[in-house]
């Protein structure tokens, strides 16, 4: 690891007298705008992007092939059986929904908490939320036996006046995930409008101008626009904040409200939310590290940002580990023999391998972030993110499958194994996710330029010696902080 003194891009030195700088490398508004928007508009698309895109698009193709096969043949092409009615599809659903949580947490909760460091990573994290929710949304849709009537889960008016069953957690899921997807999309898009206008203004191709222009909604950067924008953003952040907690709580109800030993536990909502944030941050980190590397964004997505994320991973990972311990304690303390067996069976039964993968990845891995050298080492943290991703997938697997495979009557006990279709479908969902991420990187501003400008040193009226770097004179009005007058109205 490089010394903080010698490495200009290391801002992780803990100095209690001042906040670390959030943008490094003598950037001003112009260079920021240029560096971010040039990735989309000016720079040649790297060959690696094409290679990656072909690979991920291929995987996406496999996903749809598998879904087609599933639709033609039936759910039996998966490895499910009688006691284990939910397998990889539901595991993947919970996994992807969880991934999305980091984006919402960063964009909404950290916004409300005025965590300025969020600005560099929130666009990316929010995009990831949308894509993860898209991937998540596929699974409950395709896992039902009769996909052609899956719309019956929605409370649509019909001639029989037949309503869905409002007691069913699956129905709550429909609402929770639906709301979450809608709000997340709106939030992401609203936040992007000023940046889209920047792209529109800098675009040289006609088509680009038209498309970016269309989505920029006629943004001119007027004070009124900014006013409305910030109000809308604040409201959406307010709306999204409870969703961070509610979505995964509701998802956890699928399990918690059932009476299956191993599912039927009240700890699930907080435990699921913590796990979701945990996995979400790991996934953001997994993607962000290569992105900042390849697209030269280290000055904006600094080591300090990554370190902050690692601290959140440490916190939520500890919560998850604590939840594991609590579950075991209650299984013993509660005195329910079925429940105590369910947990003993998890740890020492036929799925012990999955359980210990989960524990190693989710409990041990985040604890390493207590060590600053690990917390600030990019390659190490990337490897640890991968472990967290694996561990969190296994957590859902362990919860879903081990509980089902051995419930009340031993006569029904069975072992569940996925089929190739299960595996390819899951791999395919990653293909879809990365395809969307690649398209995002290629066509949309990866960093929220407008927001980052507000936290640049130069935007601070009291930043002393740095003032000479930019062209700024006088104080910036609060509502238009960091506005760059030279940039055709958009920041």
Partner 1 sequence: MSETAHSPLRGQDYWRSLQELADTDEFRHQLDNEFPGGVDAPGGMTRRRFLQIMSASIALSSLAGCRWPTERIVPFAKRPAGYAPGTPLQFATTFELGPVAHAVLATSYDGRPIKIDGNPEFALSGGATSALAQASVLDLYDPDRSKAVISRRGRSAAETDWATFGEWAAGHFGALRGKGAGLAILTGATSSPSLRGLLEQAGRAFPGSRTYQWEPVCRRNEILGAKAAFGQPARPQLDLERAAVIVDFDANVLQDGATALKCSRQFAKGRKPDQGRMNRLYCWESGYSTTGGMADHRFPTPARDIGPAAWALAAELVLGEGLPLPVGAGLSRGDLSRWRGHAAGGAHLGAVARDLMANRGKSLLVAGLRQPAAVHGLVHTLNTALGNVGTTITFIPMAVPDFGTIEDLVRDLDAGRIDTLVILDGNPVYTAPADLDFPAALGKAAHRIHLGDKDDATGKACTWHLPRAHYLEAWSDATGWDGSYLAVQPLIAPLYDGHTAAELLSLMVDETPRTGWQIARDTFAVMTGGRAPAPPQDTDRAFEQGWQAFVHDGFLQGSGRERGETLALAGGAVAAPAEGAELGPQNLEIVFVHDQSVWDGRFADNAWLQEMPDFMSKLTWDNAALIGPATADALGLKHGDLVELNLGGRTVEAPVYVQPGQARWSVTVSLGYGRTDCGRVGLGAGFDAYRLRTFAARDFAAGLTVGRTGRTHVLATTQDHHAIDQRGAAEVQSRVPRLVREGTLADYEADGHFADHLGIHHPPLLSLWKEKEYTGHKWGMGVDLNACNGCNACLIGCQSENNVPVVGKDEVARGREMSWIRLDRYFLGDPEAPTVTPQPVGCVHCELAPCEQVCPVAATLHTEEGLNAMVYNRCVGTRYCSNNCPYKVRRFNWFNNFEDLTATQRLVLNPDVTVRARGVMEKCTYCVQRIEKARVAARVEGRRIMDGDITPACAQTCPTEAIVFGDLNDPTSRVSRMREDSRAYDLLGYLNVKPRTFYLARLRNPNPEIAPARMHDGHGGGHDQDHAQEAGHGHG
Contact 194, 450 (CB under 8 A): yes
**How far is residue 185's CA from residue 198's CA, in Å, rounded to a whole number?**
20
- Per-residue DSSP letter, 20: P
The torsion defined by the Cα of 114, 115, 121 and 124, in degrees rounded to 10, comes to -40
Report the residue number, 86 or 369, with the smaller CB distance to partner 1: 86
Report the residue number, 322 or 341, with the smaller CB distance to partner 1: 341
Nearest to 484 by CA among 474, 467, 465, 470: 470
**How far is residue 169's CA from residue 24's CA, in Å, rounded to a whole number?**
48
Cβ atoms < 10 Å from Cβ of 372: 13
Report the residue number, 174 or 199, with the smaller CB distance to partner 1: 174
Cβ-based burial of 150 (10 A; exposed 0-12, middle 13-18, buried ≥19): middle
Total interface residues for partner 1 by CB under 8 A: 54
Q: List the interface residues with partner 1, window 104-143 (CB under 8 A).
A: 143
Contact 446, 290 (CB under 8 A): no
Contacts of 196 (CB under 8 A, 6+ apart): 212, 215, 216, 217, 219, 444, 445
Instruction: Kindly state whether residue 409 participates in binding partner 1, applying the rule CB under 8 A.
Output: yes
Among 63, 174, 250, 456, binds partner 1 (CB under 8 A): 174
Backbone angles phi, psi at 164, to 5 degrees: -65, 170
Instruction: Kindly state whether residue 6 participates in binding partner 1, applying the rule CB under 8 A.
Output: no
Instruction: Kindly state whether residue 411 participates in binding partner 1, applying the rule CB under 8 A.
Output: yes
Nearest to 428 by CA among 129, 85, 101, 92: 92
Instruction: Kindly state whether residue 81 participates in binding partner 1, applying the rule CB under 8 A.
Output: yes
Report the residue number, 262 or 285, with the smaller CB distance to partner 1: 262
- Per-residue DSSP letter, 255: H
Report the residue number, 66 or 84, with the smaller CB distance to partner 1: 84
Among 406, 453, 483, 491, binds partner 1 (CB under 8 A): 406
Q: Cβ 263 to partner 1, closest distance in Å?
A: 8
Instruction: Kindly state whether residue 168 participates in binding partner 1, applying the rule CB under 8 A.
Output: yes
Q: List the interface residues with partner 1, window 336-365 (CB under 8 A).
A: 337, 341, 344-345, 348-350
Contact 242, 269 (CB under 8 A): no
Nearest to 213 by CA among 222, 223, 224, 202: 202
Among 8, 58, 85, 477, binds partner 1 (CB under 8 A): 85
Would you give the binding string for partner 1 spanning residues 146-165, x where CB under 8 A is met?
xx-xx-xx--------xxxx
Q: Cβ 420 to partner 1, closest distance in Å?
A: 14
Report the residue number, 5 or 161, with the smaller CB distance to partner 1: 161
**How far is residue 405's CA from residue 382's CA, in Å, rounded to a whole number?**
34
Cβ atoms < 10 Å from Cβ of 270: 16
Q: Cβ 86 to partner 1, closest distance in Å?
A: 6
Instruction: Kindly state whether residue 330 participates in binding partner 1, applying the rule CB under 8 A.
Output: no
Q: Cβ 405 to partner 1, closest distance in Å?
A: 9
Q: Cβ 100 to partner 1, closest distance in Å?
A: 22
Q: Cβ 445 to partner 1, closest distance in Å?
A: 40
Backbone angles phi, psi at 390, to 5 degrees: -60, -45
Among 83, 191, 269, 445, binds partner 1 (CB under 8 A): 83
Reported for 216-220, long-range contacts at CB under 8 A and 24+ positions apart, including other chains, are 217/193, 219/193, 219/194, 219/490, 220/489
Among 259, 353, 464, 474, binds partner 1 (CB under 8 A): 259
Among 46, 58, 68, 74, binds partner 1 (CB under 8 A): 74
Instruction: Kindly state whether residue 98 participates in binding partner 1, applying the rule CB under 8 A.
Output: no
What separation, in Å, do the N-terminal and C-terminal C-alpha atoms of the chain show? 35
Q: Cβ 259 to partner 1, closest distance in Å?
A: 5
Report the residue number, 120 or 403, with the smaller CB distance to partner 1: 403
Instruction: Kindly state whether residue 482 participates in binding partner 1, applying the rule CB under 8 A.
Output: no
Q: List the interface residues with partner 1, window 37-66 (CB under 8 A).
A: none
Strands (E) in 171-254, as ranges, are none
Among 1, 414, 438, 469, binds partner 1 (CB under 8 A): 414
Instruction: Kindly state whether residue 251 participates in binding partner 1, applying the rule CB under 8 A.
Output: no
Q: Which residues bind partner 1 (CB under 8 A)?
A: 73-76, 79-86, 143-147, 149-150, 152-153, 162-165, 167-171, 174, 254, 257-260, 337, 341, 344-345, 348-350, 404, 406-415
């Amino acid at each position: 690891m490089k010394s903080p003194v010698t490495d200009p891009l290391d801002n992780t030195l803990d100095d209690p007298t001042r906040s670390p700088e959030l943008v490094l490398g003598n950037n001003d508004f112009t260079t920021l705008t240029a560096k971010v928007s040039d990735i989309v508009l000016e720079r040649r698309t790297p060959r690696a992007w094409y290679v990656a895109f072909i690979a991920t698009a291929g995987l996406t193709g496999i996903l749809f092939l598998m879904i087609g096969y599933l639709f033609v043949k039936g759910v039996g092409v998966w490895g499910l059986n009688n006691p284990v009615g939910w397998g990889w599809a539901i595991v993947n659903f919970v996994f992807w929904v969880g991934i999305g949580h980091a984006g919402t947490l960063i964009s909404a909760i950290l916004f409300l908490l005025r965590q300025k460091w969020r600005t560099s990573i929130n666009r990316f994290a929010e995009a990831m939320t949308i894509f993860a929710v898209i991937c998540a949304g596929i699974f409950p849709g395709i896992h039902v036996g009769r996909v052609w009537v899956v719309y019956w889960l929605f409370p649509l008016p019909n001639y029989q006046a037949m309503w869905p069953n409002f007691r069913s957690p699956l129905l709550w899921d429909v609402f929770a995930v639906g709301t979450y997807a809608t709000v997340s999309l709106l939030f992401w898009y609203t936040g992007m409008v000023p940046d889209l206008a920047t792209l529109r203004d800098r675009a040289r191709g006609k088509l680009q101008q038209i498309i970016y222009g269309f989505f920029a909604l006629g943004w001119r950067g007027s004070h009124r626009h900014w006013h409305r924008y910030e109000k809308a953003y604040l409201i959406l952040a307010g709306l999204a904040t409870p969703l961070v907690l509610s979505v995964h709580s509701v998802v956890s109800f699928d399990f918690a409200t059932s009476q299956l030993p191993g599912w039927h536990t009240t700890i699930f909502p907080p435990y699921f939310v913590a796990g979701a944030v945990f996995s979400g941050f790991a996934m953001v980190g997994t993607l962000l590290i290569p992105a900042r590397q390849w697209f030269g964004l280290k000055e904006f997505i600094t080591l300090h940002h990554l370190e902050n994320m690692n601290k959140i991973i440490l916190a939520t990972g500890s919560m998850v580990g604590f939840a594991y311990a609590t579950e075991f304690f209650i299984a013993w303390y509660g005195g329910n023999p079925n429940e105590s067996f369910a947990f003993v069976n998890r740890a020492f039964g036929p799925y012990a391998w999955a359980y210990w993968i989960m524990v190693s990845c989710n409990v041990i891995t985040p604890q390493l972030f207590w060590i600053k050298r690990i917390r600030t080492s990019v390659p190490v943290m990337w490897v640890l993110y991968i472990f967290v991703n694996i561990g969190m997938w296994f957590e859902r697997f362990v919860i879903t499958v081990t509980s089902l495979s051995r419930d009340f009557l031993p006569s029904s006990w069975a072992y569940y194994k996925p089929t190739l279709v299960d595996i390819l479908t899951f791999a395919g969902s990653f293909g879809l996710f990365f395809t969307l991420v690649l398209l995002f990187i290629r066509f949309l501003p990866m960093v929220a330029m407008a927001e980052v400008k507000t936290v640049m040193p130069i935007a601070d009226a009291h930043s002393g010696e740095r003032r000479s770097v930019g062209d700024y004179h006088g104080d910036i009005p609060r509502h238009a902080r960091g506005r760059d007058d030279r940039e055709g109205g958009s920041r």
